[in-house]
Amino acid sequence: MSGALNILLVEDNPDDRALVIRELSREFPDRHFTHVSESKQLTSTLERGPWDLVVTDYELHWSDGISILLAVKSRWPDCPVIMFTGSGNEEIAVQAMKAGLDDYVLKSPKHRARLSAAAVLALDRARQRRALREAETRYQHLFSRVPVGLFCVALDGRIIEANPAMIEMLGYPNRQTLFEVDANSLFASPTERRRWLAAVQRSGVVERFELRLRRCDGKPIWVEINARAVKDEQGRTRHREGSAEDITARKRAEERLRDSREQLRSLIAYQQSVREEERSRLARGVQHEVDQALAALKLDLAWVERRLTGGAGPSSLSSALERLEKLPEAVDAITDTIRKIASELRPPVLDESGLEAAIEWQTREFEGRTGIKCQFDSKVRNATLEPERATAVFRLFQETLTKIVQQAKATQASVHLRVEGDKLVLEVEGNGRTDTGRKISRARSLDLLGMRERAIILDGEVNISSRHGKGTLVDVRIPLHRPGDLKTN
The pLDDT score that the predictor gives to residue 326 is 75
The pLDDT score that the predictor gives to residue 280 is 63
Mean of the pLDDT values across residues 169-191?
A: 95
Q: Give 55's pLDDT tier (boundaries 50, 70, 90).
A: very high
Same-domain pairing of 203 and 294? no
Residue 416's nearest CA partner among 375, 381, 371 is: 375
Instruction: Give the burial string for 148-169 (b: 16+ CB within 10 Å, else e).
Output: ebbbbbeeeeebeebbbbbbeb
Statement: residue 108 has pLDDT above 80: yes
Q: What is the CATH number of the domain that holds 118?
A: 3.40.50.2300
Same-domain pairing of 125 and 153? no
Q: Please confirm whether the linkage preceding 14 is cis (ω < 30° from 0).
A: no
Same-domain pairing of 306 and 401? no
Q: Give 455's pLDDT tier (boundaries 50, 70, 90).
A: confident
The pLDDT score that the predictor gives to residue 393 is 87
**Between 471 and 206, residue with greater pLDDT:** 206
Same-domain pairing of 15 and 126? yes
**Between 395 and 32, residue with greater pLDDT:** 32
Residue range(s) defining the domain that contains residue 242: 146-246
Helix axes 446-456, 387-400, angle to 10 degrees: 160
Number of domains in the chain: 4
Mean of the pLDDT values across residues 422-443?
A: 70
Helix (H) or strand (E) segment spanning residue 396: helix 387-400
Same-domain pairing of 368 and 311? no
The pLDDT score that the predictor gives to residue 99 is 93
Same-domain pairing of 11 and 135? yes
Same-domain pairing of 229 and 161? yes
Mean of the pLDDT values across residues 237-254?
A: 94
Question: How far apart, in whole angstroms, are the C-alpha atoms of residue 46 and residue 36?
Answer: 10
Question: How far apart, in whole angstroms, are the C-alpha atoms of residue 386 and residue 415?
Answer: 21
Lowest mean pLDDT: which of 22-36, 65-79, 136-150, 260-274?
260-274
Angstrom CA distances, 468 to 80, 415, 432, 435, 474, stand at: 84, 19, 10, 9, 15
**Between 329 and 359, residue with greater pLDDT:** 359
Mean of the pLDDT values across residues 105-109?
A: 91
pLDDT, tens digit, 9 for 90 and up, residues 376-415: 999 887 667 788 888 888 888 888 887 777 667 788 889 9
Helix axes 90-98, 65-75, angle to 10 degrees: 10
Q: Last residue of a domain, which of 127, 142, 157?
A: 142
Q: Give 115's pLDDT tier (boundaries 50, 70, 90).
A: very high
pLDDT, the chain, mean: 85
Mean of the pLDDT values across residues 234-260?
A: 92
Q: Give 441's pLDDT tier (boundaries 50, 70, 90).
A: very low
Same-domain pairing of 234 and 195? yes
Q: What is the CATH number of the domain that holds 207?
A: 3.30.450.20
Query: The pTM is what?
Result: 0.50
Asked whether residue 442 is assigned to any structural domain, the reply reads yes
Same-domain pairing of 318 and 339? yes
Q: Give 293's pLDDT tier (boundaries 50, 70, 90).
A: confident
Q: Last residue of a domain, which of 91, 123, 142?
A: 142
The pLDDT score that the predictor gives to residue 486 is 46
The pLDDT score that the predictor gives to residue 114 is 94
Same-domain pairing of 328 and 389? no
Measured from the Cβ of residue 200, the count of other Cβ atoms closer than 10 Å reads: 19
Same-domain pairing of 155 and 242? yes
Same-domain pairing of 287 and 236? no
Give the largest CA-CA distance in the chain: 167
